[in-house]
Structure formats: C-alpha cells, structure tokens
C-alpha cells in the first residue's frame, strides 16, 4: 500500500513528489505516462520562473527536477493511469492501462490540461514561433508590438485585456458578432482603445517565415478576406482538462468538478473527497503557470502528510 500516489509528473506532480518524500512519507510513487517534466518541456524559452535568469528552455528548466525528487525517495513509474477510485474503507485504487492496479492511502492528481487548437493552416507549424496559447507566458515577447487574439469566450477577452497593456494593439478575432464572455468583460474590451474587434471572421491561415509569424489571414462571413500583419497570434478557443482519471465506471466524477471539468479545490488543494488532492493546471482557477503548479504541488503534499498523520 502506497502512502501517497501522485498522478502526473509535470511541475505540480514533481513538486508534490519532492515535498511528500522529503516530508517523511516513505512509499510515494509518481505515475507519469511519458517523460517527467510536463507541458513546459514543449516551450523553447521560459522567462518567468523566479530566480532563473538568462535564456533557458522548458526542457532545461525541468531536467533536474526528477533527480532532486529521487534523492529523497520518490519512485517514478512510467504508466498511464486510467482511473482513481476510493473504496468504502477509504483506500484509493489506481488502475493503469496495462491492467495492473495499486492501492494508496492518499492521492494527488496533477494531470494538467491542454489548450485546444483552432485548426487553421499554419497553427501547428508556427506553434511556439509566433502562435501561442499563453499570454502570461509569451505576451512580454510582443511588448510594443501588435498581436492577434482568437476566440470569443472569457479566456480570449480576459487575455486580450492583459495583452492590451503590453502591446500597442490587439486584434480580437472572433467567428461570430457576439461573445460568450461575462457582460462586464465585454464592456471593458469595447472600452479599450487599442483593442480592435474583427468579428464574423474565421482565421484561415497564419503566415510567416524562418523567423516566425508575420501575419494572419481571416475570412469573413461574406467570403471576403483580410490580412493582418502581426508577429504574434494567441489562440484561446477552449481547454481540455485531463480529468479522465477521475471518471468512475458510471460516468460520474470521483470528486466535485466545475461545470467545465476542472477539479474544485480549496486553498489547501483539498477536493471534496478526504485524502484526494488536485494540483496544477487541472484545478479550478489555476493561473496555468509553472511556478503556480509547483506551489500547488507543495501545498497538496503538506496536506497529504497531515492526512497520513490523521490531521485533516
């Protein structure tokens, strides 16, 4: 029986692994279906991890993390977890894609989330070279430049407002003429002088050269097109939360979730189920940053230690 099972080996899972083992839990396994490090390993440059200066890729940032955890006894198992359940006696079961199963006294779920792609030509080719899904991460690279934002939900409008503070101009491209966002957010966007609404416009192609994106072409409902010169295109068309491991046989979730599939947690990363914690991008209201995911992992780990001691 494990003291704690950690599902996912990104910044949240690895930090949970560091704090649980260093804090005295003996049998802790981090289940990661791929290489540890998480989605930041796809980033060519990270500038906002505190204390890390100079040019560093996401991969380079994450390389020392597993080794640091292993020094304190964290076991890493390369496995895909298919389901986490809780028996009536309070023990968690961890089912894996190879059909095997583990048991754990507590579980920290850190499986992250994945931004959706809009599907226009050039989106994948230029991803990380002008196409981004994170304004907090990449907005600064476009300081005093013009950018395009795609989407018409709360995320697109909030991120457009964020980018409007950094960039000279933001083209907000949306495929309809009305937004899904909260009314006051729409009002703020409309009242922001350097946001231009490009409505009834479907992004068709992002174009660029060896240096990266140079512009985006959109097609309007009446079949006319417009080319907009921008070096940066931010795509906010929804998010897939990697919550499948919490789905039970009957289709319900093990713990309470938000309407859009994120795990509801309190400030201690506790879910609605005792002994079950969620950390990082998959939890409600996550800022979706490495430093925040790591912080969540530490908080969840301290709670898992207290749970093992009977304080919860």
Q: Does 113 bind ligand NAP (CB under 6 A)?
A: no
Which residues, 6 or more positions from 46, have their beta carbon under 8 angstroms from its beta carbon? 40, 52, 56, 57, 58, 61, 137, 290
Partner in contact with 206, chosen from ligand NAP, ligand FAD, none, beta carbon below 5 to 8 Å by kind: none
Residue 210 vs 260, nearer CB to ligand NAP:
260
Assess 20 for contact with ligand FAD (CB under 6 A): no
Q: Among the options 138, 167, 281, 292, which is catalytic?
A: 138
Return the residue of 19, 31, 92, 277 that touches ligand FAD, per CB under 6 A. Answer: 31
Task: For residue 278, state whether it binds ligand FAD (rule: CB under 6 A).
Answer: no
Q: Provide the minimum distance between the beta carbon of 130 and ligand FAD in the complex, in angstroms, as a whole number.
A: 12
Q: Alpha helices, DSSP H only, in 45-203?
A: 58-62, 64-71, 135-138, 154-164, 183-190
Q: Does 39 bind ligand NAP (CB under 6 A)?
A: no
> Exposed, middle or buried: residue 6 (CB in 10 Å: 0-12, 13-18, 19+)?
buried
Among 86, 104, 281, 303, binds ligand FAD (CB under 6 A): 281
Total interface residues for ligand FAD by CB under 6 A: 35
Q: Helix or strand or coil: residue 38?
A: coil
Annotate 61-93 with b (16+ C-beta within 10 A) or e (fewer): bbeebbeebeebebebbebebebbbbeeeeebe
**What is the Cα–Cα distance from 200 to 218, expressed in whole angstroms?**
9
Structure tokens at 1: 């029986």
Counting contacts by CB under 6 A, is residue 111 touching ligand FAD?
A: yes
Contacting ligand NAP (CB under 6 A), which of 180, 188, 217, 264? 180
- Maximal C-alpha separation, the chain: 66
Q: Backbone phi, then psi, for 88, in 5-degree steps?
A: -65, -30
**CB-based burial, 213-227: b 16+ in 10 Å, e otherwise:** bebbbbbeeeeeeee
Ranges within 217-246 binding ligand NAP (CB under 6 A): 236-239
Partner interacting with residue 237 (select from ligand NAP, ligand FAD, none; CB below 5-8 Å by kind): ligand NAP
Q: Is 110 helix (H, G, I), strand (E, B) or coil?
A: coil
**Interface region with ligand NAP, contact rule CB under 6 A, candidates 3-11, 18-26, 126-134, 153-161:** 153-161
- Is 138 a residue of the active site? yes
Cβ proximity to ligand NAP, 105 vs 288, nearer residue: 288
Binding string, 274-303, against ligand NAP, x = CB under 6 A?
A: ------------------------------
Gyration radius of the chain over CA positions: 21
Site membership for ligand FAD, residue 137 (CB under 6 A): yes
Per CB under 6 A, does 176 bind ligand NAP? Answer: yes
236: CB partners within 8 A, 6+ apart: 115, 133, 149, 150, 151, 153, 155, 156, 159
Of positions 150, 160, 164, 292, contacts ligand NAP by CB under 6 A: 150
Residue showing tokens 């898992």: 304
- Give min distance, CB of 258 to ligand FAD, in A: 16
Query: Which residues does the annotation mark as catalytic?
Result: 134, 137-138
Contacts with ligand NAP, residue ranges (CB under 6 A): 118-119, 150-156, 158, 175-176, 180, 236-239, 260
């Amino acid at each position: 029986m494990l003291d704690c099972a950690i599902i996912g080996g990104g910044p949240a899972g690895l930090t949970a692994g560091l704090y649980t083992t260093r804090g005295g839990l003996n049998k802790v396994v981090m289940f990661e279906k791929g290489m540890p490090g998480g989605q930041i390993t796809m980033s060519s440059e990270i500038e906002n991890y505190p204390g890390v200066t100079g040019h560093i890729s996401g991969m380079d940032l994450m390389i020392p993390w597993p080794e640091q955890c292993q020094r304190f006894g964290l076991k890493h198992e390369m496995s895909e977890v298919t389901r986490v359940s809780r028996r009536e006696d309070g023990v968690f079961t961890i089912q894996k894609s190879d059909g095997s199963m583990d048991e754990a006294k507590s579980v920290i779920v850190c499986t992250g989330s994945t931004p959706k792609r809009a599907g226009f030509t050039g989106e994948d080719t230029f991803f990380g070279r002008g196409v981004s899904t994170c304004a907090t991460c990449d907005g600064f690279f476009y300081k005093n430049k013009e950018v395009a934002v795609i989407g018409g939900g709360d995320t697109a409008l909030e991120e457009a407002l964020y980018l409007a503070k950094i960039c000279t101009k933001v083209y907000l491209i949306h495929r309809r003429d009305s937004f899904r966002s909260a009314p006051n957010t729409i009002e703020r966007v409309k009242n922001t002088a350097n946001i231009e609404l490009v409505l009834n416009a479907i992004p068709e192609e992002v174009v660029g050269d060896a240096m990266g994106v140079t512009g985006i072409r959109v097609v309007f409902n009446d079949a006319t097109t417009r080319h907009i010169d921008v070096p940066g295109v931010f795509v906010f068309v929804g998010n897939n939360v990697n919550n499948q491991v919490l789905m039970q046989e009957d289709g319900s979730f093990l713990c309470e979730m938000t309407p859009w599939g994120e795990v509801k947690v309190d400030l201690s990363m506790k879910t609605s189920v005792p002994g079950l914690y969620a950390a990082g991008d998959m939890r409600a209201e996550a800022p979706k940053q490495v430093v925040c995911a790591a912080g969540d992992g530490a908080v969840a780990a301290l709670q898992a230690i207290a749970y093992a001691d009977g304080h919860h």
